[in-house]
Structure formats: C-alpha cells, structure tokens
Chain A
Amino acid sequence: MNIDGVTTGIVLDHIQAGKSMDIYRLLKLNEIDNSVAVIQNARSTKYGRKDIIKIDQEIELDMDAIGYVDPNITVNIIRDGRLEKKEHLELPEMLTDVIRCKNPRCITTVEQEAVQRFYLADRGKKIYRCVYCDVEHSE
C-alpha cells in the first residue's frame, strides 16, 4: 500500500493496533482541511502490529489525551520533509475534559459546564480518579 510521506505535519506512530480511530475522534481529525491517513494493522518489529496516523498539517495536539489513550505512542513532528522533533508520551498526571465522570452522585453530572478533571491514582494499573468525587474511572 502506498501512502505519501508527510512534508510538514505530524506522524503518530506506534499506536496500539485498533486504537487509531479512538485517537482520530479524540483529536477531531475529521474537522481539519488537509489530508489525514489512518493506517491500521501495519507491521511493527516492536509490537507485531500497530496503527499509524499521518496528518498533513501541523495542528495543536492534546498530548495528555493521546498519552491517556496509549502512552506508547510516538509523536513525530515533520517540517520541510525533515524530522523536527520526536516525542515519547507517558500517562499524564492530570486529565482535563478527556473523560467524563460516571458516578451519579458526583457534582460534575449536574453542575452547568463543569470541567471534567481526573488525577492519576495508580500509574501501574492506569487508574484515574475524578478530582471531585475520587471515584475510579471505568471505560
């Protein structure tokens, strides 16, 4: 399969196979003007299979949101055909407006325009808890 290289833009590499559309929706990539390529199930020496997203435009990325979905993603910033920057992500300490609290007793379920904030309670187990009610987030 032949997909053009990115001249100036972003390549999200090493996405866990099957997670690329989660990232696509999270970053609202359907709303940008330039071309976006989503490659699923590409061969990877490191992971066996992986997904890749190529964005033909430099956009502001919510690194926390990407790191939350998959902290193993590598973000490559390409400018004029050259790799300008390579960023390795990790699980963010805080998440703002990435996930929603599902605890029916939490104030954020009723308060107008409440910001959804979560803190990383256990890095090893990837457990996030709501800042307001401390209830663990479940998918």
Chain B
Amino acid sequence: MKVRNLIKITDLSVKEIDEMIALADEIRNDHDGYMDICHGKKLATLFFEPSTRTRLSFEAAMLELGGSVLGFSEAAASSAAKGESVRDTVRTVGCYADIIAMRHPKEGAPMIAAEGSTVPVINGGDGGHFHPTQTLTDLLTISRERGRLGSITIGLCGDLYFGRTAHSLIEALLRYDDMKFVLISPDELRVPRYIIDKMKAAGAAYEEVSKMEDVMPELDILYMTRIQRERFFNEEDYLRLKDTYILDPEKLNGARSDLTVMHPLPRVNEISVRVDDDPRARYFEQALCGKYIRMALILTLLGIKKEAKQ
C-alpha cells in the first residue's frame, strides 16, 4: 500500500479535509470510543527546531489514542548534529516507529524525508514554508466557529512574509468558494509573490492594507500572527517591526460582535492579555482543536478506523 504523507495542505483533497474535520468532531464527542484505538502504535516526533505546541499536541494526540511516542526536541540531541542527512534519519526512524511528525528549519526537509520514508511523514513545520497541521487546526476552528468553510472574509495580520501559518491557511481556503482575504502587514512583511499569484490564479478577492483599524468592521475572522524573531537575519529589523500590530480591546471596539479572533500561538505581545476574556477571542479553543485534528490525522494516515458498534 502506498504510504500517505502530509507535506503541504494541498496533499489533501477538500473532501479528505472535510472528512478529517468530521472525524475530529466525532473524536471530541466520543472520547472513550477512541482512547485505545492506536494501542501498540508508535509516533516519532523528530523536532530539529524547538516547538512547544506542535510537538506536545502531536504527543498528546497519540497518547490519547492509546499509542506511544518517542523522539527528540532539538537537532543537537539527534544524529543531525553528526551530519546525518534528513533522508537517512527518517529512513532509520521508520524502523522503530509507525508514523513520523517532523519539524525542520530548512524548507522542503519533510518532502525530502518523505521521499525516502517507509512510514507516513507529517510536516510539523519546515522553516518559513508550510505548516499544514496548523492549517488543519485552523480549518477545524473556523468550521466550528463559523459553521462553514467558504463565504468568509478573513483578515490575516502581522508577519505575512515569513509566516508559514498564514501561507498554508490561504492556500487551503483558496479551495473554498467566495473567500475574501484582507492582508494586513507592514510593507516589509507582505505575503510573498507566489502566494499572491495563487490567489490571482484562483480568482479570490484580496486586498493588501497596512492599518488594522480600517478593515476591522468587515471581518468575520481576524487571524493574528507573531513577528518571528528567529526568521530575521538582523535584530534591528525585528525590533523595529515587532510592535507594529497589537490587538487590544480598543481596536476590537470597531469589530463585529460575532468576530472570531484566532492566533496560532505562541504570542509575544501582538494580542493584549486584556483581550483574552472577550468571547470573540478563540485562540485557546484553537489550540485545543489542534489536538483533536492531529488525532484525526494520525488515524487517517495510519488507515485506522473505529469498528462499527454492533
């Protein structure tokens, strides 16, 4: 049987994404029914770059399915420190684990890994490139919060140049009808041209703006992102741009009462903690969705289905 991987969000059809969202909802509603379904299966988390949320949510997902986890959380603790190639590391780990989730600072590393792997490889983030499981998390959150995917005006705010979560989410939402993207960023951190090209090719509506307040009333969703220190070659540029967009209760005053505020987390200061208690702030719910969608993804890639009740 051909090994299924998840390297970029478009590896999954819209139908598969919809099924995975439905499965995540089912797992959440029937936790006990899934608690032992991956007994005897092992997930390897190969994190060549530090992460809290992604790695722990993968591990929590596998543990809650009754499986076990192994792996490393920084490149220094792996054979990469000795100069081993990504392909060799993953081929070797495939001898010990049934499925692999990896994060790597180099763009395209999970794709190279998957080319030589005998077990499914999940991209847990490759540099500033893609982060498809965050996208699945976002889609599940949007689906639950808005009751639909499509016919949505979404504002993406912050670092849209290096922000891989924004790139993946845009690509995923381009496959749904009647989407409008409002891209809010400083000039230096606008979305890369290849993403703009894809929006044009898909015929999606989009506008690029630099001021958050102007567009707030028209948004269904405001997706905030962090200005990422680790993506800058130059500390000065980072310090100059990091405080550009901070969401606070005053800015939210101009927004609709049913706005959904999302953030892939971690945040630094781009959302004031004073926003956390506002019912429109849904980013911790989003983090919870991350665990359930990863449970659904693991089951899907391993081809494990719950037996029908007699």
Contacts and interface: CB of A to CB of B under 8 A. Distances in A.
B129 interface: yes
Given A112-B85, A134-B129, A107 B108 contact: yes
Contacts of A112: 85, 87
A103 to B, nearest CB: 7
Contacts, number: 53
Dominant secondary structure of chain A at its interface with chain B: loop
A3 interface: no
28 contacts: A105-B105, A105-B106, A105-B107, A105-B128, A106-B106, A106-B108, A107-B104, A107-B107, A107-B108, A107-B112, A107-B126, A108-B108, A108-B112, A110-B106, A111-B86, A111-B106, A111-B109, A112-B85, A121-B197, A129-B194, A130-B108, A132-B108, A132-B112, A133-B107, A133-B108, A133-B127, A133-B129, A134-B194
A69 interface: no
Residue of B107, B108, B112 with most partner-chain A CB within 10 A: B108
A123 B108 CA distance: 23
B104 to A, nearest CB: 7
A109 B104 CA distance: 14
A131 B108 contact: yes
Residue of B87, B106, B127 with most partner-chain A CB within 10 A: B106
A128 to B, nearest CB: 12
B106 A107 contact: yes
A109 to B, nearest CB: 8
Interface of B: 85-87, 104-109, 111-112, 126-129, 193-194, 197
B107 A136 contact: no
B85 to A, nearest CB: 5
Contacts of B194: 121, 129, 134, 136
A1 interface: no
Interface residues of A, number: 20
B233 to A, nearest CB: 10
Given A114-B112, A121-B197, A107 B86 contact: yes
Contacts of B127: 105, 133
A80 interface: no
A108 B111 CA distance: 11
A107 B194 CA distance: 19
A62 B85 CA distance: 29
A31 interface: no
Contacts of A122: 197
Given A105-B127, A121-B197, A132 B107 contact: yes
Contacts of B109: 107, 111
A112 B84 CA distance: 9
Contacts of A111: 85-87, 106, 109, 112
Contact of A132 (B85, B87, B111, B128): B111
A110 B87 CA distance: 12
A139 to B, nearest CB: 17
B281 to A, nearest CB: 32
Contacts of A105: 105-107, 127-129
Nearest to B83: A112
A105 B127 CA distance: 7
Contacts of A135: 107
Contacts of B85: 111-112
A41 B86 CA distance: 48
A103 B112 contact: no
Nearest to A129: B194
B132 to A, nearest CB: 14
Nearest to A109: B106
Given A107-B109, A107-B111, A133-B108, 13 more contacts: A103-B107, A105-B127, A105-B128, A106-B107, A107-B106, A107-B107, A111-B85, A111-B87, A111-B109, A111-B112, A112-B87, A114-B112, A131-B111
